[in-house]
Chain A
Amino acid sequence: SQQGEEDPQALSIQEGENATMNCSYKTSINNLQWYRQNSGRGLVHLILIRSNEREKHSGRLRVTLDTSKKSSSLLITASRAADTASYFCATVLMDSSYKLIFGSGTRLLVRP
C-alpha cells in the first residue's frame, strides 16, 4: 500500500471558498511535499514542509504537519476555477532521501 493517502478522494467547491485536503502517512519522514497535476500532465511542486516544521505558507496555500498524528493538510484559500486539478502529497522517508512516495491524490473541482 502507498505511504500517503489523501482525503477526500474528490472535492467540489464554489469559487471563492476554501479547499482543505488531508494526507496521512505511515512511517517517519524527512519531509512532506504537495504537488498539483492538471489533467494527466506533469506534476508541479507546490510546497515542502520539513519534519521539524509545523506550518508553512505560500501565497494562498497553507500547509500543516502533525508528526505525532502522521498527517498533513493543505488549505487553498479563496479558490479559483484555475485551481481545479489533482493534488498529491508525497513523503521522503527518514531512511531514504532519494525518492518521493506519493499518495493517490485528491481531485479538486472549483465551480465558477
Chain B
Amino acid sequence: DAGVTQSPTHLIKTRGQQVTLRCSPKSGHDTVSWYQQALGQGPQFIFQYYEEEERQRGNFPDRFSGHQFPNYSSELNVNALLLGDSALYLCASSLVANAGELFFGEGSRLTVL
C-alpha cells in the first residue's frame, strides 16, 4: 500500500519563476493538505482540498494556488517566486471523517535563488 508520494524531491528555481509540486495521497484517502516548512520551524498550513475544492486556506498570498484532481491527487503552484519561498513543501493526506490525523509525504525541497 503506497503512502503519500510527492514529486519532485528537490528543485531549484530563480526569483520570479513559477513552480508546480505534485502529490499523490495514500490509497483510500480523499483529502489533501499542503504545508510549508521553513528551516528550523514547524509546518505552516497552506490549504486543504476535498472533493476538488479548496476547503480551507491558511495565511498565504494568492501566489499560492492548488488543485485537486478526480483521482484525489493534488498540485501546489507558486507564482512569482520569492527568496522567502525557499522551504520544504509537505503534502499530507487524510480521510475527511478523521479529526485531523495526517499522513505526510517526504516533501519537496524548493530552493529559490
Count of CB-CB pairs between chains A and B under 8 Å: 70
Say whether A30 contacts B45, CB under 8 Å.
no
- Decide if B102 touches A42 in the complex (CB within 8 Å): no
Contact between A30 and B102, CB atoms less than 8 A apart? no
- Chain B's closest residue to A92 (CB) is B100
**B42 x A104 contact (CB < 8 A):** yes
For chain B, the bracket of interface size reads 20 to 34
Q: Complex Cα distance A14/B43, Å?
A: 28
Max chain A Cβ within 10 angstroms of own Cβ: one of B43, B45, B105 = B43
Contact A44 to B100, CB < 8 A, known contacts A103-B42, A104-B42: no
B113 to chain A, nearest CB (A): 19
Q: How large is the interface on A (under 10, 10 to 19, 20 to 34, 35 or more residues)?
A: 20 to 34
Is the beta-carbon distance between A42 and B42 smaller than 8 angstroms? Answer: no
Q: Are B42 and A97 in contact (CB under 8 A)?
A: no
Give the distance in Å from the alpha carbon of A48 to the alpha carbon of B43 in the complex. Answer: 17
With A41-B106, A105-B42 in contact, is A97–B90 under 8 Å at CB?
no
Binding site for A on B (CB under 8 A): 4, 33, 35, 40-45, 48, 55-56, 58, 88, 90, 92, 99-107, 109
Which A positions have Cβ atoms within 8 angstroms of B? 2, 4, 30-31, 33, 35, 40-45, 48, 50, 88, 90, 92, 96-105
